[in-house]
Every structure is written in structure tokens, then in C-alpha cells.
Amino acid sequence: MNIADVQVVSILPQMIMLAAALAVFLADLVWKDRKGIGLLALAGALVAFAAAAGMLAGSGAPTFQHMAAADRFALVISLVVSAAAVLALLISLDYVVRVELPAGEYYGLLLLAASGMMFLGAATHLMTLFLSLEILSIALYALAGIRTTDLRSGEAAMKYFLLGAFASAFLLYGMALLYGATGSTYLAGIAAAVPQKPADPMLIGGLALLLVGFAFKVAAVPFHMWTPDVYQGAPSSVTAFMSVGAKAAGFAALVRVLVTVFPALYAWWVWPVGILAVLTMTWGNLAALAQGNVKRMLAYSSIAHAGYILVGVAAGEAGVSGVLFYLMAYALMNIGAFAALIALERAEADAAGVELARMSGLFHRRPWLAAAMTVFMFSLAGVPPLAGFFGKLYVFSAAVRSGLMVLAIIGVINSVISAYYYLRVVARMALAGPAEEVEPARCLGLSIGTGIAALGTVLLGLYPTWLFNLVQGTLAVLFGG
């Protein structure tokens, strides 16, 4: 075939991320400066972000013979993932040195995972879907266990890998069933075939298995069992990136499949997705209430947030923009929260994650850090005028629009429940701290990362309009070419 048919430009952000990963691996062979490699990775992620932003004005025609798409949906996901990568890299620069992680592997795997996530957002073919998912998963499995001296890290990697492999198997089987039912592996082809045989058990079985596979990836209850241990055991900067990126990519694929391929079956899949949403929100919030370890609490809280996003997914096409907005807001506030934890993590005592007690008196010792953490906590709780509130507003209004008012009600009730444990952190920071205290880390990258996240959360809350406009009508035009 003609070389002109291969439109690499359309997947430029992903390619840049991939190239950066390879560059990091190569650089690690000769260059032993951990920070330098980190900066190289950061540069690559920034260029990828810029590429994704620059391509927003483009046409979004499907490419690679309909195996990938560069539509606005994929580009927004690329933006979210690359922004998450940039923030995660900023906060890793010092952390990698402090915890003595192997720099080349760490940064390379992170960028690889990011590229997998971005590919997943653009996938319009079952194989692309699966391959991207595997790229990001395997990179994340390795990243979870990259702190080789820590048993918890190894345990996290093992758990993630075993359960993830199971989920991938479910996903693959579901894809096989879909192919068997419709005769096509292209999402467009499946979408065309679905209306003709809506009650086909093979089709529904395939969809159900696909749901299971994706539910695992985004940590929906009851497929969430791996999340608390993996998030707590993995190094904090990895957790920060994982919690945001894997969710963004997972939700992107889920939404794309459900909304573009199975709109005819909406009346069927709204039930399992809605039930998943309720279970996930409620269980995540209730479990977080009981946590004394802030890192583990954030792990459960991210399960709860997956629940809120699932409410948006359950709203069908009306919820797509809400989901995208929420993912962007979530990226900022969640990575920010983890960044604050990283600043506090010192010594072996914190290997299991920062305990609540360590946050005592932070307002007196490091007021700006405490202020940033306050912003993240209130935003996660959904208090206006921060970004988290508008994410929830958007998602819940989509639910109301689709007639799912019950989900909205359960959602706001859960927000109130969650306020309790987020407030607990803020309250603890305001109390007086113990006399001797290890100083929280000061690192330029960490400060910049936390600052951008905090500022972003506040500004997105005050001026959400630009993002609202950006995520509007992204999946409206389905398969253009």
C-alpha cells in the first residue's frame, strides 16, 4: 500500500510519547543522572501535550484503516493523559532520587504506559483496544513493583498482574464473542451489525465480558479488590499516575464502545452500569471513612470517584462530555493530593504510605503545602467553586437529563459522606503537630507540580467554560470516513 495511507500524523501525540519512552531507555544506557533522565522524560511529555493541544483544530478523521481515530474525544483523552504524565513526572523528579528507583526503567515505563493510555483513547478497532490496554497494563504492572527493595511494592505488582491478566482474558474473550456475533473487529463494523441483532446472546455476552474487563481497569466495585493494596504498595508517584491515567484511558475506551457501538442496547447496559456506579460510589466512600492511612484513603476515594464517573457513563451519549470534564478535573486534584503526600513521605516509617498523624500541624510548618492540600480535599469532596464540583455538576446533570435521577441523588449523598473523610485531613493539618518533625521535602519539581495542580483546580472551578466547550459533542460524529 501507499506510504501516504499511513497517516502517522494523526497519532502524533501517541508517537511522541512512545518516542520519548524509547529515548529514555536509550539515554539510560549511557547517562547515569537520574534527574537528567527525568527531565528528558518531562520534555517528551510536554511535547506530546503540546501536540495534542495543537491538533484540536483538526478534522478527526479515522486513520490507519479505521483502527485509530484522532477525533476530539481521543485528543481530549490525550490531553488528560499527557497532562497527568507531566504532573506525575514533575513530582517524580526528586522522588525517584530519594527512594532510589531505577530512573531509566521508571521514566521509560511511565511514558510507555502514557502512550498506551493515549492509544486506548483513540482505539476504534478491537485489536487496537486490546494492544493499547496491554501496553499500558504491563507497563503499570512493572511500575507498581519497581521499588524492588520494598515487599509491599512487589506484592502490589503481583496482585495487579494476576488480577489484570484475568481481566484481560475476560476482555479478550468478550472481543472474540463480539467478532463471532458480528463478523467484524472494527468498532464501526460492530456498530453497524448491532441494530440488526439486538437480542443475540453472543453479542450481549461479549458486551458483558467487555464491561467486566473495563470495570476491572477502572476499579469499579466489585472488580476493585486489587486497588487498595496496589495503590498503597506502589511508589506514590506511580500511584498518582496510575489512579488518573489508567482510569482516564479505561473510561475512554468504555465510553467509546458503549456510546458509539451499542447505543441500540442502551436500555440493556444502563442497568449494569448504573448498578456498578451505585456500588462503586457507596462502597468506595464507606471504606474510605475507615482509613487512617491517607494513601489508602486516597485509594478508596479514587474508587468512589470512578463511581461518579460511571454515573456519567450510565447517562449514555448525554454523559460523554461530563465524563471527559470530570477526568480532567480529577487528574488535577488527585495527582495534586498524591503530590502533597509525596512531600510528606520520609523515612522507612512512611513506606506504607503517609498516616493521618503525619499531617498534623502542616498549616504551621508548611502553610502553602497545607493550603494546596486543602484545595485538593475540598475539590475532591465537590465543594464549589472548585473543579471537582463542576465535574460532579456536569455528570449529575447528564444523569438527570437521561432520566437517571436516582443516580444523581445517590451521587450527591455520597459526596456528603465523602466530605467527612476529606475534612478529616484538613482538620488534622490545622491541629498542632508533634514537637519533633521530619521536614517535608522541598523540591522544585514537586512544588511546581503541586502548584500547577492546585492552581488548575481553582481556576478550572472559576472558569470552567473553556473545558465545557472543548468536551462538547465529541462523540457526536461517529465514524466519519
Partner 1 sequence: MNSAGFPLLSLIVFLPLAGALLVLVWDKRAHASIRGISLGITLAVLALTLAAVALFRPAEAGMQWEEHLPWIPTLGISYRLGVDGFSLFLLPLTALLFVIAVLASWKPVGSDEASRSAVQGYFFWLLLLETGVLGVFLALDLVLFYVFWEAMLIPMYFLIGRWGGERRAYATVKFFIYTMAGSALMLVAILVLGYFAYQSTGAWTFDWQTLRGLNLPWPAPLWLFAMFGLAFAVKVPVFPFHTWLPDAYGEAPTPVTVLLAGVLSKMGIYGFVRFGLQLFPEGLRTAAPWLAVLAIIGILYASLSALMQKDVKRVVAYSSVAHLSLVVLGVVVANAQSLAGVVMQMVSHGIYVAALFLIVGMLEERRGTRLIAEFGGLWKPAPLLGVCFLIAMLGAVGLPGLNGFVGEFLLLVGLFQSVRAYAVLGALGMILGAWYMLWTFQRIMQGPAEGRNADVPDMRGVDLLVMVPLLVLIIILGVFPNLILGPAGATIDALVGQAAAVAWLP
Q: Does 357 bind partner 1 (CB under 8 A)?
A: no
Give min distance, CB of 254 to partner 1, in A.
23
Give min distance, CB of 472 to partner 1, in A.
6
Q: Which is nearer to partner 1, 115 or 474 (CB)?
A: 474
Dihedral (CA of 271, 274, 280, 282) sign: negative
Q: Taking Cα atoms as reference points, which of 222, 9, 248, 276 lies closest to residue 136?
A: 248
Q: Does 183 bind partner 1 (CB under 8 A)?
A: no
Between β-strands 62-63 and 68-69, what pairing exists: parallel, antiparallel or unpaired?
antiparallel
Give min distance, CB of 375 to partner 1, in A.
10
DSSP string, 18-55: HHHHHHHHHHHHH---HHHHHHHHHHHHHHHHHHHHHG
Give min distance, CB of 458 to partner 1, in A.
12
Give min distance, CB of 385 to partner 1, in A.
5
Q: Is 180 helix (H, G, I), strand (E, B) or coil?
A: helix
Q: Which is nearer to partner 1, 202 or 400 (CB)?
A: 400
Q: Which is nearer to partner 1, 162 or 405 (CB)?
A: 405
Give min distance, CB of 401 to partner 1, in A.
6
Phi and psi at 293, nearest 5°, equal -95, 120
Binding mask 412-441 for partner 1 (x = CB under 8 A): xx-xx--xx--xx-xx--xxx---------
One-letter amino acid at 311 equals: V
Instruction: Evaluate whether 387 touches 460 at the Cβ level (below 8 Å).
Output: yes
List 73, 226, 330, 394, residue binding partner 1 (CB under 8 A): 394
d(CA 250, CA 164): 13
Give min distance, CB of 392 to partner 1, in A.
8
Give min distance, CB of 68 to partner 1, in A.
28
Instruction: Evaluate whether 362 touches 378 at the Cβ level (below 8 Å).
Output: no
Tell me the β-bridge partners of 186: 125
Q: Which is nearer to partner 1, 145 or 464 (CB)?
A: 464
One-letter amino acid at 363 equals: F
Q: Does 378 bind partner 1 (CB under 8 A)?
A: yes
Give the CA radius of gyration of the chain.
21
Give min distance, CB of 377 to partner 1, in A.
10
Q: Does 347 bind partner 1 (CB under 8 A)?
A: no
Give residues 314-333 in contact with partner 1 (rule: CB under 8 A): 321
Instruction: Evaluate whether 38 touches 96 at the Cβ level (below 8 Å).
Output: yes
* CA torsion, ordered 183, 189, 195, 201, to nearest 10 deg: 40
Q: Which is nearer to partner 1, 239 or 415 (CB)?
A: 415
Q: Which is nearer to partner 1, 162 or 431 (CB)?
A: 431
Q: Does 455 bind partner 1 (CB under 8 A)?
A: no
CA 468 to chain centre: 19
Q: Does 400 bind partner 1 (CB under 8 A)?
A: yes
d(CA 292, CA 287): 11
Q: Which is nearer to partner 1, 49 or 378 (CB)?
A: 378
Task: Locate 75 and state its grid cell.
Answer: 485528543
Give min distance, CB of 270 to partner 1, in A.
17
Q: Which is nearer to partner 1, 174 or 274 (CB)?
A: 274
Q: Does 349 bind partner 1 (CB under 8 A)?
A: no
Q: Which is nearer to partner 1, 290 or 416 (CB)?
A: 416
Q: Does 197 bind partner 1 (CB under 8 A)?
A: no
Q: Is 293 helix (H, G, I), strand (E, B) or coil?
A: strand
As a whole number of angstroms, the longest Cα–Cα distance in the chain is 71
Dihedral (CA of 239, 315, 260, 195) sign: positive
Q: Does 393 bind partner 1 (CB under 8 A)?
A: yes
Instruction: Evaluate whether 95 touches 38 at the Cβ level (below 8 Å).
Output: no
Q: Does 465 bind partner 1 (CB under 8 A)?
A: yes
Task: Locate 422 and state its grid cell.
Answer: 476529606
Q: Does 208 bind partner 1 (CB under 8 A)?
A: no
Q: Does 161 bind partner 1 (CB under 8 A)?
A: no
Q: Which residues contact partner 1 by CB under 8 A?
A: 321, 364, 378, 383-385, 389-390, 393-394, 396-397, 400-401, 405, 408-409, 412-413, 415-416, 419-420, 423-424, 426-427, 430-432, 464-465, 468-469, 472
